[in-house]
A and B are shown apart, each in its own frame.
Chain A
Amino acid sequence: MTKDAAFDTVIVGAGVAGALIAKHLTDAGLTVLVLEAGPGTSRGLDDYTRHLERFHAASAKSPESPWPPAVGAPQPDTTALRDNDGYFVQRGPNPYGSSYTRLWGGSTLHWLGVSLRMLPEDFRMRSRHGVGRDWPLDYTALAPYYGRAEREIGVSADVADQSYLGVTFPEGYDYPMRRVPPSYADRVLAAAVDGMPVTLGDEEIAIRVRSYPAARNSIPRDGYRPAGAVDIRTDDGPSVPPRQGERCQGNTSCTPICPVQAKYHAGKTLAQADRRFLTVRVQAVASRILVDPASGAVRGIEYKRYDDPATAAHTTRIATGRTYILAAHAVENAKLMLASGLEGPRGQVGRTLMDHPALYAWGLAPLDIGAYRGPQSTSGIEDLRGGAFRARHAAFRFDVGNDGWRASTGAPDTAVSDAVMARNLFGPALRAQLGATLPRHVRLSLAVEQLPDPDNRVSIDPACLDPLGNPRPVIDYRIDDYTLAGMAAASDVARAVFRRAGVTDCTDPSKGSWFPSVFYRGREFRYHGMGHFAGTHAMGADPAGSVIDADQRAWEHRNLFLVGSGSFPTMGTSNPTLTLAALALRTADRLVEELAR
C-alpha cells in the first residue's frame, strides 16, 4: 500500500465541518489533506450546471435528484427508503426517513439553509427539564463561535427578530446580511396569527410568524462580501464568475439545488482555503482508522481510491498526519469507527442516533397568497421551541413554506394531474381552476425534537457491504412517546393556526407523498426525516457518557477528532448546521493552538 506524505491534519469529508476546519488550519499555514468519498463534480460551474439540468429533467425531484452517488460512495436515497432497498439496512421498528449526499460539498449542496442558533435551554435538557442529557458546554461558551459561523457561511437575518427564548447577542452585533425579505404569504399569515395564544400543559405561549436566519445571500451589512458561485478549475486555478450568486433570486429550489449558488454550500469555504497548504483528494473513501493499540493514537487512515465513479475498481492507500478529523457525516463517522473496531467508551459509538421527525400540514388560504414563489421558505413559528412543557413532551418548530404543496403532495404536478385525469377539466376551465387554487396553497413543516436513546443506533454487519467492501450502515430506530406527544401537540397547533387564518385544512396523509406511519393514543402521524442526523458520537464532560470531549476530541484517541452533528448530545429544535459549524470553528481554534506550538 502506498503511503501519502504526512500532513499536519488529515480530514475525512469535504462537507461543511471539514471545509471550515480545513480553511482555518490552512490559514494558519498548517498542511491539510481532505479525503472526500464522492466525486468533485460540484467544483466547476459547468459541472454544477449539469447537476442543475439533471434536477430539471428528473421525474422525482427528491433531495438527491441532482446529486447521483458514485458506485464506490453509495448514499441513502429518499425513494429507496420506502422499500428499504437502498444503502441503509433499516431494522426499524420505524424507518429512519432522512438522506445525505457524499460529494465534494456534502449535504450542504441540498440543504434548506435554515441557520438557527440553539436555545440556551437546549444545552441543559437534563438540568432544566429532567430529560436527555446536558452538553459539556453552554450557550455562552458557543455564542462567539455562532457569530463567527454566521459570517463564515453567510447568514442573513436581523438580530431584532432573533432575540427570543433566551437567545442573546453581544451589544452591537448583527448578522452579516440583512434578513431575506419575508414572503407575501408570510405576511398574510402573520397578520392573522401573530399574538395567538397556544396552551401547552399549564403554559400559555403567544406565537408569531418570524423570519428565520438563512444561509442565503441577501443585502450585506458593513462591507460584508457575500460568497457567490464557485468555479474551481483544476488546471488554471479558481475562476469565479463575477457576482453570480451574491444575491438570492427566489428560485424556490434551495433544496435540492440552488441554481445560482446564492445559498451556502461547503464548497464555498473550500474555495476560500489557502491552496498552498490544502490538498483535496476526491473519490477517496476512508475505510479504516489505523490505531496504535498501546497508546490509542491514530497512525493513519486507510482509504480506497477509485478513478471511475461508475465502477468499484479501486486502489488502497494510507494517509498520515499529526492529527485526524472525521468530518464525514454523523452516520459515516460512526460507521468508519466501527469498521475500524473502535466502539468508543462503553460501546457508545453509533448510539443515540437522532433526527427531527417532521409532519406536514397543508391547506388552502382564503385568498391568493402568491404560493410557489421565493426561497422555499422564509419564516417559521419558533415560540414553541422552548418551555416547561419539555419536561413532558418534545418541543417543535414550524417552517412556513413558500413552495405550496410541493413537498407534501407533489403539487403542482399532482394538482394538474388530478384536475385533468380525475376531474376531466380542460381548456379555460382547467386554467381557471388551477389559477384559483395553486396560488392559495399553504404548507407548514412541523419538525419535532427527539431525545437521545441508546437503542437508536448505527451499527455494521459484515454481511452487509457496499461495492467497495465497506460496511453499509445498519439502522435501528424508534420514535418514542416523548416525540410522539410532541407530534400530537404540534399537529393541534397547526390546526389552530389554520383555523385562525381561515385556511381550509387539506392535510390528508393518504393523499400526500409516501411517508411512514407512527401511532400515538389512537392517532396516526405520517412523518418524514429532516436530514438532521445527530448524536452518533456525542460529546460529554466525561468518558462515561460520551465518545468525545467538548473540543470534539475522542476520549480514547487523543489525536483524533470527530466533528459534525454526530457530536450533539441532544438536538433541540434548530437545524444542526449552524451549531455544527460553530463547533467546528471552536475545534479549529484548538487545533491551531496545538499544532502551531
Chain B
Amino acid sequence: MTGPADTSRLDGFVGLSALLTGFAPVQLLGTGMAAAYLAVLDAVLPEDIVGDLMSAYRQLPRGPERERAAEAEILGDPRLGPVARNLIVLWYCGAWTQLPAAWRAAFGASPLDTSRVVSAAAYQAGLQWLAAGAHAAGANPQGYGAWAIGPKSAGSSGLERGGA
C-alpha cells in the first residue's frame, strides 16, 4: 500500500530524476521503474543521504537558475554528487555502479553497493536506448525490416521494407 506521503516522496524522486536525466516525468514513469529505482537508493544508501538528496532537490530555485543550481548544490556536492551521477546511470543503463572508494570511505560503505544490472526489466527500460533512437539489445524490437528505414533525422527512406 502506498500512502500520500509515499506518493509525494516518489513524485519528488521522479522530479529529481527528470532534472538529472533530461527526460520528462511522464517518460520516466512510463518505464515502470521509478519505484524500483527509489528502492535501490533506499537499500544501498544510508537514509539521511536519500533524504538530503531529495531535500536539496526541493530547495532548488525555479526558472533559468535551476540547472546551474543543481550543478552546484547536487552534482558538485562531494556527498550528493556521486549519488546523483549514479542515479543518472541507473536510469540510462538500468545498472547500479559501486560508489567511488573515497565516497565509501567518507560516507559509509554498504554491502549492497555493488556494480550490477538491477534487474532484467531495468536493463530493458534503459533510457540510453531511447536517447539513441534505438531499443535495448534483445528486447523491444522495432519489427521486421524497420532497420532499413532511416532514422528520424534522415527523413523517411524506407527502401526494402518488407523485402528486397
Tell which of B93, B127, B154, B160 touches A181, judged by Cβ atoms closer than 8 Å. B160
Q: Are A435 and B131 in contact (CB under 8 A)?
A: yes
CA distance A59 to B123 in the complex (A): 9
Given known contacts A417-B97, A430-B88, A184 and B128 CB-to-CB distance under 8 angstroms: no
In the complex, the answer to whether A426 meets B88 with C-beta atoms within 8 Å is yes
Residue pair B116, A181 in contact (C-beta under 8 Å): no
Overall SS of chain A's interface: loop
Q: A257 within 8 Å of B by Cβ? A: yes
Q: How many A-B residue pairs have CB under 8 A?
A: 188
Size class of A's contact patch?
35 or more
- List chain A residues, Cβ under 8 A from B148: 181-184, 187, 374
- CB within 8 Å for A439 and B133 given contacts A181-B148, A421-B85, A426-B88: yes
Q: Is B117's CB under 8 angstroms from A59's CB?
A: yes
Residues of B within 8 A of A428 (CB): 22
| B119, chain A: closest CB distance, angstroms | 6
Q: B interface, how many residues as a size bin? A: 35 or more
| A365-B129 Cα distance, complex, nearest whole Å | 18
Instruction: Find chain B residues with CB under 8 A from A218 CB.
Output: 144, 163
Do B137 and A179 touch across chains, with their CB atoms under 8 A apart? no
Contacts of B119 in A (CB 8 A): 57
A-B contact pairs, 18 of them (CB 8 A): A59-B116, A59-B117, A182-B148, A184-B149, A249-B143, A250-B142, A369-B151, A370-B134, A370-B149, A371-B132, A373-B135, A373-B142, A374-B147, A412-B93, A412-B129, A427-B21, A429-B22, A432-B22
- List chain A residues, Cβ under 8 A from B92: 412, 416, 420, 434
Q: A178-B163, A427-B70, A434-B131 are in contact. List 17 more A-B contacts (CB 8 A).
A: A55-B138, A59-B115, A181-B164, A187-B159, A249-B142, A259-B139, A368-B154, A371-B134, A416-B89, A416-B128, A426-B22, A426-B71, A429-B22, A431-B127, A431-B131, A435-B132, A435-B133
Closest to A262 in B: B144
Given known A-B contacts A59-B117, A181-B161, A251-B137, A416 and B143 have beta carbons under 8 A apart: no
Query: Is there contact, CB below 8 Å, between A439 and B132?
Result: yes
Closest B residue by C-beta to A211 = B164
**Is B150 positioned at the interface, with any CB of A under 8 Å from its CB?**
yes
B82-104 CB mask vs A (1 if < 8 Å, else 0) is: 00110011001101010000000
Contact of A250 among B93, B129, B143, B163 (CB under 8 A): B143
A420 to B154, CA, bound (A): 27
Contact A373 B146 (CB under 8 A): yes
Q: Is B67 engaged at the interface, CB distance under 8 Å to the other chain? A: yes
Q: Hey, which chain A residues are within 8 Å of B23, CB to CB?
A: 431
CB-CB < 8 A to B67: which residues of A?
427
Q: Which of A368, A373, A427 contacts B147 (CB 8 A)?
A: A373
Q: Are B154 and A252 in contact, with the CB atoms below 8 A?
A: no
Please measure, in the bound complex, the distance between the C-alpha atom of A416 and the C-alpha atom of B20, giving whole angstroms.
13
Instruction: Kindly identify which residue among A52, A412, A426, A434 contacts B138, using a CB–CB cutoff of 8 Å.
Output: A52
Closest to A161 in B: B164
Instruction: Determine whether the beta carbon of B137 is less than 8 Å from that of A252.
Output: yes
**A178–B151 alpha-carbon span in the complex (Å):** 24
Q: Quick check: A373 and B134 within 8 Å, CB to CB?
A: yes
Who on chain B is nearest to A157 by CB?
B164
Contacts of A373 in B (CB 8 A): 133-135, 142, 146-147
Q: A251-B139, A373-B147 are in contact. Are A368 and B133 (CB under 8 A)?
A: yes
Chain A residues closer than 8 Å to B120, beta-carbon distance: 53, 56-57
B139 contact set on A, CB distance < 8 A? 56, 251, 253, 259
Which residues does chain B contribute within 8 Å of A183, judged by CB atoms?
147-148
Complex contact A58–B117 (CB within 8 A): yes
Known: A370-B133, A413-B128. A251 touches B141 (CB 8 A): yes
A434 to B148, CA, bound (A): 22
A464 contacts B by Cβ under 8 Å = no
Q: Which residues of B contact A481 (CB under 8 A)?
A: none
Expressed in whole angstroms, the Cα–Cα distance for A416 and B132 within the complex equals 11
With contacts A56-B123, A372-B132 taken as known, whether A431 is within 8 angstroms of B163 at the C-beta atoms is no
B134: A residues at CB distance < 8 A: 252, 370-373, 438-439
- Is B132 in contact with A434, judged by CB distance below 8 angstroms? yes
Once the chains are docked, how many angstroms separate the CA of A184 from the CA of B20? 32
B2 contacts A by Cβ under 8 Å: no
Cα A52 to Cα B120 with chains together (Å): 9
A372 to B133, CA, bound (A): 8
For residue B75, CB closer than 8 A to chain A, the reply is yes
Q: Which residues of B contact A434 (CB under 8 A)?
A: 92, 128, 131-132
Contact assessment for B138 and A179 in the assembled complex, using a CB-CB cutoff below 8 Å: no
Query: In the complex, are the beta carbons of A370 and B141 less than 8 A apart?
Result: no
How far, in angstroms, from A406 to B70 measured CA to CA in the complex?
31
Query: What is the bound-complex CA distance between A431 and B134, given in angstroms?
Result: 14
B35-57 residues with Cβ-Cβ distance < 8 A to A are none
Q: A438 to B142, alpha carbons, bound, how many Å?
A: 17
State the 3 A-B residue pairs at the shortest beta-carbon distance, nearest first.
A374-B147, A431-B22, A253-B138
List residues of chain A with CB within 8 A of the CB of B164: 158, 178-179, 181
By the criterion CB–CB under 8 Å, are A370 and B162 in contact? no
- Return the contact of B137 from the options A187, A403, A432 (Cβ within 8 A): A403
Residues of B within 8 A of A31 (CB): none
Nearest CB to that of B149 among chain A residues? A184
Q: Considering the chains assembled together, what is the distance between the CA atoms of A371 and B150 in angstroms?
A: 10
Q: Which of A399-442 contact B (CB under 8 A)?
A: 402-404, 406, 412-413, 415-417, 420-421, 424, 426-432, 434-435, 438-439
CA distance A184 to B145 in the complex (A): 10
CA distance A252 to B134 in the complex (A): 10
B124 partner, pick from A56, A219, A426, A429, beta carbons under 8 A = A56
B142 touching A426, Cβ below 8 Å: no
